[in-house]
Copies of this chain bind each other. A is one copy, B any other.
Amino acid sequence: MNKFLPEEELEQRISRIREMAVETGYDAVLISTNANIYYTSGYVFSGFVYVSVDGGCLFFVHRPVGLEHEKVVYVRKPEQIAEKLESMGRKLPEKLGLELGRIPYLQALRLAAAFSQRELLDCSALLAKARSVKTDFELEKLKKSGVHHCQSYSRISGLFHEGMTDKEFQIEIEHRLRLDGCLGQFRIAGGSMELFMGNLLVGENADEPSPYDFAMGGEGLDNSLPVGCNDSIMRPGNSVMIDMNGNFTGYMTDMTRTYYVQRIDDKAKAAHNLSISIHRALSDFIRPGVEAKAAYELAKKMADDAGFSDYFMGHRQKAGFIGHGVGIEVNELPVIAPKSRDVFEKGNVIALEPKFVIPGTGAVGIENTYVVGDDGLECITDFPEELSEL
């Protein structure tokens, strides 16, 4: 059974990586992390995707058994890859890129030794850049996730009942998402980020700082995973920010909507509406060629001008960005932050999340996922944005 990408799609992705490898001066790249193996093959396997500039790509598979594809070559360990290449009459690379930003130091040394590399060269930045521009095939997966994500969100307010804790509400939302086809897995690049099925933030807990580099925090339920809901009762006047997992297809959309229990104060309402206005302004502003940091500055200026600086992107602790690429992982390129060097390209898929934390009320604002096109942003998480009562 073929589990891999259609040939044309595979060729498109591999060609792009090959071109970037040529530009960088590499003879080949060797890919060994799940997210990048999935990107370059369409299937997560244990092993390596090998892309050389002078030939096709090969899938060196350790597990599972039984894969049938012309590109599949079984190996028990990485040291066999060079042997196999030689036995196929293929020249070994003099300059081999490895995912040095992702794979452990000791693994990098082992792979470099297996290819007799004198110097360790990084291809993780190159792959991140390649992945930041989505193919039509990928856009279809993202749009499908967006449709499911919205369908699930439309069922959220029906899950609430008075006297619930934030944790109980979160669990019911998780359950709903899973029944609706959410795969559960929340893929994040970088070992220091962790989250289970998304983040629900109610009332004051939104102002609890968390160690992770997400836009919002929360105390969490345990010191081993200090983020998100903290099992407190949802009370009248609390805002309820829902930022839950949109991985329905292997590609994730990112969407936040905010509700409240019974009533909410005017400052929070104004901040929520400001978030919506920032989305509108960014939708007009972002185009291929625009600098990501300029988008950040525009959002920041709107928050400052409205007198909401103290609450923008957090209150006690602030996030340093207002948006990020999404796709196979939730934190892809471009990064929309003050020091970002990224420039928007056609085919980027970005989540924008200008949010506010209002002391005493909680977090407000929305997040949408957009495709960057020649004419601006196309929203793929099309769902009512107003602050509404649960």
Interface residues of A (CB under 8 A from B): 3, 32-34, 38, 42-47, 62-66, 98, 100-109, 120, 122, 124, 168, 171, 174-175, 178-179, 183-185, 191-192, 194, 196-197, 209-213, 217, 221-226, 247, 249-250, 316-317, 328
Known: A100-B105, A101-B104. 5 other contacts (CB 8 A): A3-B223, A46-B211, A63-B210, A100-B104, A174-B178
Which of A107, A178, A224, A247 has the most chain B CB atoms closer than 10 A to its own CB?
Answer: A224
Residue of B65, B98, B106, B179 touching A316 (CB-CB under 8 A): B65
Contact A103 B100 (CB under 8 A): no
Would you list the 5 A-B pairs with minimal beta carbon distance, nearest first?
Answer: A224-B250, A64-B209, A184-B196, A105-B108, A100-B105
Contact B226 A183 (CB under 8 A): no
Residue of B42, B105, B174 touching A98 (CB-CB under 8 A): B105
Contact B223 A42 (CB under 8 A): yes
Please give the distance in Å from A215's CB to the nearest CB on chain B: 13
Tell me how many chains of this kind the complex includes.
2
Contact B44 A317 (CB under 8 A): no
Contact B106 A225 (CB under 8 A): no
Residue of B38, B101, B175, B197 touching A224 (CB-CB under 8 A): B38
Q: List 6 A-B contacts (CB under 8 A).
A: A43-B223, A44-B194, A46-B213, A100-B104, A105-B107, A184-B225
| CA A135 to CA B229, docked complex, whole Å | 29
What residues of B have a CB within 8 angstroms of the CB of A211 in the complex? 44-47, 62-64
Contacts A209-B63, A222-B183; A103 near B101 (Cβ below 8 A): no
Contact B196 A183 (CB under 8 A): yes
Contact B65 A317 (CB under 8 A): yes
| CA A192 to CA B45, docked complex, whole Å | 9
| CA A36 to CA B145, docked complex, whole Å | 34
Residue of B103, B109, B183, B217 touching A225 (CB-CB under 8 A): B183
Contact A194 B34 (CB under 8 A): yes
Contacts A34-B191, A104-B103, A194-B34; A44 near B171 (Cβ below 8 A): no
| CA A226 to CA B63, docked complex, whole Å | 11
In the complex, residue of chain B having the shortest beta-carbon distance to the beta carbon of A181:
B221
| CA A25 to CA B250, docked complex, whole Å | 45
| CA A183 to CA B101, docked complex, whole Å | 29
Please give the distance in Å from A385's CB to the nearest CB on chain B: 28
In the complex, residue of chain B having the shortest beta-carbon distance to the beta carbon of A209:
B64
Contact B196 A103 (CB under 8 A): no
Please give the distance in Å from A224's CB to the nearest CB on chain B: 3
Contacts A63-B317, A194-B44; A223 near B102 (Cβ below 8 A): no
| CA A224 to CA B138, docked complex, whole Å | 13
In the complex, residue of chain B having the shortest beta-carbon distance to the beta carbon of A168:
B179
